[in-house]
A and B are shown apart, each in its own frame.
Chain A
Amino acid sequence: MKGAKWMAAVALLLAARGVGMLPRGREIEERKLISVLAVDGKDTITVTAVTGVRVSEDEAAEVLNGEGSSLAQACRELRKGSARRAYLGQTEQILIGEEGELGKTLDFILTDRELRMDTLLYIVRGDAGKALEDSAEMVAGETGGQDPRGRTVGELLPRLIEGEYTFAPALAPGENGALEPAGWAVLSSEGVVGCFEADAALGATLLAGVGEGQVVSFPHGAAELTAAKIWAVDGTLRCALTARVAEGEVQREELEDWGKRVLRAALTPGWDCWGLDRQLGALRPGDWETWRKYPVEKLTVKVTGKLVNP
């Protein structure tokens, strides 16, 4: 009786396998692991992919291209370019061109069986595909986790789905072809709506909570930020900065003024990418509606600085 049960279980599995109900495997060496994917275009989508390489073995990265009316079709075209199947499951970075179709890309990531939510997303100034091709050797050997500014698709999606602003690191081609940091791109469900540059980018970095380690130059010296705590309450954005004097002489007031300036620059365009309104509302649940959609540009900025000598 027991033997019959086992036989039935095995027969069921074999039958399911036979009729294709179970997944079919593919040898790993028959795949081509894509490490970076670039997406450009609105009506005609272009994808450019770079395969992962082992830097220690001096392997050369391969660039694959595909074009189609949709991202899925473009990826299908991309796969045709290689005898081995291009596998997107190991994609660590997705680069989207400034003019690229953000919504379609995110939709594709959500529905595709291979692409993952923990893939880092970057916005590239100009043509992402060309920038990727030019920097293929460099990006193929890097791992995405090394970029402290990296934000994953999973981190961006919740705010976009709710129709709010969010931000992603922006990159631009440098002099030697390498992609270099170029502030932050502001995203909404419509696509890329703007960017934080210069002081605004520094302010956005502080608000994003990744400001530690930045070196700020002052007229008579420089300081390295060791801690930056920011919270919003009662219409005021409070910021506590702690910095280590790295060079020369730095006054506490200079640090506070710098903090106010960069934060104000980040708030002025009125893009609340950090959920400050929710923070305001959450701390005063009784006045939730008042604070819920509070315009961030109206926030009063108060910064307290603390200098630590080395």
Chain B
Amino acid sequence: MGFFGHTPRPDPPHPRKEPRLEGGLTPENLARVFENCVDYNRRSVCVGGNEALRAELVFIAGMVRMERVSDYVLRPLAQDRELGKSGESVAWEKMRSGALYNLSVSERTTLDQAVMDLIGGNCLLLFPGRERALSFNTGTEEKRSIGDPENEISVKGPRDSFVENLRTNTSLTRRHLKAPELRIEEQIVGRQTLTPVDILWVEGIADPQTVKELKRRVECIDIDALLATGNLEEYIIDEMDTAFPLLQYTERPDRFCYGLCQGRVGILVEGIPLGYLAPAVIGDFLRAPQDRSENWLVASSLTALRWLCLLVTLYLPGIYMAMVDFHPEMIPTRLALSIMAARRDVPFSALFETLLLLVAFEVLQEAGLRLPQSIGQTVSILGGLVVGSAAVEARLISPAVLVVVAIAGIAGYTMPSQDLAAALRIWRFFLTLLGGTMGLFGMTVGTALLVGHLAGLESFEVAYLTPFAANAGERVEGHAVFRQPLQTDKLRPGYLNTGNRRKQR
């Protein structure tokens, strides 16, 4: 019996049918598989003009490039008289060995393979009565062109970004990272989407254990569809009960390749214009793409500023609450007098007022994100300026809280990782609640819980708080806040267990 009297039912079985499609590889079975599919096409062709020797060409419209099929498959098939003169077996061999012009041709003998090829953009050539087919790669190459990264803008640095096409993304990686040791292994994830997922690493640098573990975790994913990033992330991370990101993602091939060179393992997914890197520690989420393009002093200062902003966005509302309600002696007298005067006509308690504004801030942000850019900006201006100042004038909120929440919110925007910023926002609510109900004691308890939580996190067996925390009882060196001058940064991070730690002379 469940908590509310509901009797939980056991989950139904989820068997994987093998083979997926039954029957031999014949044009009839293919037609049965694609029954009621308007894009399924089948055409009978006389081989070399011989009426007695007919072949079936099968393809899915929209998935193949028509010119390729017409010029490099159909034309030689119909016009090459030599093919028509020979028998079916000889013609088959000739076609397989190059009589039809195509970069790749494969012989398929099962219905499963043939259907997957068709869906992948291949065209199939079959002889009636023979349970085999030649599969030609004639897929269309329609895709979004490579453009500037939208979320990881860099003033100094490459301007290309990943696209939705997996092969384009692997080619981008190859162009940036020309080492022959780059390995790319592919797995198919999703029973319905059959999404290719590529795992990339540099042999001799990446930790073989991490590669093995990542492959295992991807193999274990048995879902219907891999269409969103969460379909992958949530299945391969070490800990589910956390808001903090445990995998780093980037839309910049240069950053992705730098991660691979460091000894991390990459993941590319068909349909997702992002590259994932594992393992990831907290410092990785506070580094911006341009950090390595800037002077080390500038980059270090900016990274330190981001760490400071992390503390501000996390703690400011909570500390404000604790100081105003529990420890007013911490506030300079003049400021305390101003806060008192501003709050005198506000009908809400300081805690309710702060939480209300934090929620309003989230609502505004969400509204701005979901609307078209032009309207989103209007909403932000309306919400932030007009409603904010009107609320202050109407004495619904005090200006001090508005300033505190705005500073905390803006500090959160300095986070290079939106995933990290989102996690901080959740914890900010929690800490504000503790600060408002228990003062600095509550903040201390909250901090202890946060540190305990972070200390318990791992990303592919690497402590999330590295280099502030030990890994398996062993302290590893690293630089989370300050970037060293590149000439002195000779080693790859120790916690990655790289095969070759030295990275420069």
Contact = CB atoms under 8 A, between A and B. Distances in A.
Interface of A: 2-3, 9, 13, 17, 22-23, 25-29, 31, 33, 35, 52-54, 57, 87, 89-90, 92, 114, 116, 143
A2 B344 contact: no
Interface string B310-337: 0000000000000011111101011011
B350 A27 contact: yes
A135 to B, nearest CB: 18
Interface residues of B, number: 29
B343 A29 contact: yes
A2 B241 CA distance: 9
A31 B328 contact: yes
A114 to B, nearest CB: 7
Given A2-B241, A28-B324, A13 B438 contact: yes
Contact of A28 (B333, B350, B438, B441): B350
A221 to B, nearest CB: 41
B340 interface: yes
A28 B449 contact: no
A186 B343 CA distance: 43
Interface of B: 241, 324-329, 331, 333-334, 336-341, 343-344, 346, 349-350, 436-439, 441-442, 445, 449
Given A33-B336, A54-B334, A92-B333, A27 B343 contact: yes
Nearest to A143: B333
Given A25-B325, A26-B325, A54 B438 contact: no
Question: Which has the most chain A C-beta neighbours within 10 Å: B333, B339, B437?
Answer: B333
A53 B336 CA distance: 10
A79 B385 CA distance: 41
A89 to B, nearest CB: 3
17 contacts: A17-B438, A22-B438, A27-B350, A28-B336, A29-B343, A31-B328, A31-B340, A33-B333, A33-B337, A33-B340, A35-B333, A52-B336, A54-B341, A89-B328, A90-B329, A90-B336, A92-B333
A17 B437 contact: yes
A89 B336 CA distance: 11
Main secondary structure of the interface of B (DSSP, over half): helix
B241 A22 contact: no
Contacts of A57: 341
Contacts of A52: 333, 336-337
Given A28-B328, A35-B333, 15 more contacts: A9-B449, A17-B438, A25-B326, A25-B436, A28-B343, A28-B350, A31-B328, A31-B340, A33-B337, A53-B337, A54-B334, A57-B341, A89-B328, A90-B329, A90-B331
A23 B439 contact: yes
A170 B329 CA distance: 26
Contacts of B324: 27-28
Contact of A13 (B341, B343, B344, B445): B445
Contacts of A92: 333
A56 to B, nearest CB: 9
Question: Which has the most chain B C-beta neighbours within 10 Å: A9, A92, A116?
Answer: A9
Contacts of A28: 324-325, 328, 336, 339-340, 343, 350
Nearest to B349: A27
B241 A54 contact: no
A116 B328 contact: no
Contacts of A143: 333-334
A53 B346 CA distance: 20
A39 to B, nearest CB: 19
B448 to A, nearest CB: 9
A143 B346 CA distance: 28
Contacts of A54: 334, 337-338, 341
A89 B325 contact: no
